[in-house]
Amino acid sequence: AQSVTQLGSHVSVSEGALVLLRCNYSSSVPPYLFWYVQYPNQGLQLLLKYTSAATLVKGINGFEAEFKKSETSFHLTKPSAHMSDAAEYFCAVSGYNFNKFYFGSGTKLNVKP
Amino acid sequence: NAGVTQTPKFRVLKTGQSMTLLCAQDMNHEYMYWYRQDPGMGLRLIHYSVGEGTTAKGEVPDGYNVSRLKKQNFLLGLESAAPSQTSVYFCASSYSGEGIYEQYFGPGTRLTVT
């Protein structure tokens, strides 16, 4: 069975600081991994996705994530946080099963001025 | 393109009442999904559909029914609402070609059952 664990339900950083949001997956087959962002009172938007083409994936708004098979991780990073990055972030895993996704519990990012 | 739309945006029900949530997409996607989002639990799949006229159970299907009579629409029904169904409901759709494709989400429906 596939599952996703996001370490830290809340992360707080200062504006301009590095953002690191952690995601570990459990999968019996090579996974397809995604990061989504949810702004208050909105639906989820895709940030980036890993589909085995490259281990370092660049997404929108300056975010990127690195797939590390040995660590079963897909952590999300951004070199310099902006106030507009404050949102909730979800890691998700999928496989060849009618495109069913399994979401982590989410990490709320707070950016302090 | 409107993408994925959901109606209504908000609803308050009393225990035992019924209602239907409507999801519509204009991207010609085959796959559609209903999720519920509860604090600290991420998104949990209620039901999904891989094409017009087909539906399947997800992770938390009890108390919900769905129908996909038209490709662009996916309806979620609550026959007898319970307070445990207070949640935010999201609809999503995705392409079904070779490979894995991201899901596109609607803005959500906030449901409160008293």
The partner residue sitting opposite A105, judged by closest CB among B4, B41, B105, is B41
Which of A81-90, A91-100, A104-113, B99-108 is predicted with the least confidence, judged by mean pLDDT? Answer: A91-100
Cβ-Cβ contacts under 8 Å, A34 against chain B: 102
Give the residue, A15 or B97, on which the prediction is more confident: A15
B59-96: pLDDT as tens digits:
999 999 999 999 999 999 999 999 999 999 999 999 87
Give the pLDDT score at A21.
98
The partner residue sitting opposite A103, judged by closest CB among B31, B42, B100, is B42
Give the pLDDT score at A41.
86
Cβ-Cβ contacts under 8 Å, B4 against chain A: 43
B14-59: pLDDT as tens digits:
999 999 999 999 999 999 999 999 988 889 999 999 999 999 999 9
DSSP strand E in B1-114: where?
4-7, 10-13, 19-25, 31-37, 43-51, 54-57, 65-67, 73-78, 87-94, 104-105, 109-113
Nearest CA in chain B to A46: B102
Nearest CA in chain B to A9: B40
Instruction: Give the residue carrying structure tokens 């991780």.
Output: A73
How far apart CA A54 and CA A67 sit, in angstroms, is: 8
Q: What letter represents residue B26's amino acid?
A: D
Cβ-Cβ contacts under 8 Å, A99 against chain B: 31, 94, 96, 100-101, 103
Q: Is A34 on the interface with B (CB under 8 A)?
A: yes
A34-46: pLDDT as tens digits:
999 999 888 999 9
Give the pLDDT score at B41.
85
Q: Is the pLDDT of residue B1 over 80?
A: no
- Contact flag B102-A49 (C-beta cutoff 8 Å): yes
- Contact flag A51-B99 (C-beta cutoff 8 Å): yes
Element (H, E) at A56: strand A56-58
- Contact flag B108-A32 (C-beta cutoff 8 Å): no
Give the pLDDT score at A1.
65
The partner residue sitting opposite B42, judged by closest CB among A42, A96, A106, is A106
Cα dihedral: A54, A55, A56, A61 (round 10): 80
Instruction: Give the residue carrying structure tokens 């897909």.
Output: A74
Looking at the DSSP assignment, which residues form a beta bridge with residue B43?
Answer: B37
- Contact flag B42-A41 (C-beta cutoff 8 Å): no
Give the pLDDT score at A96.
63
DSSP state of A96: T
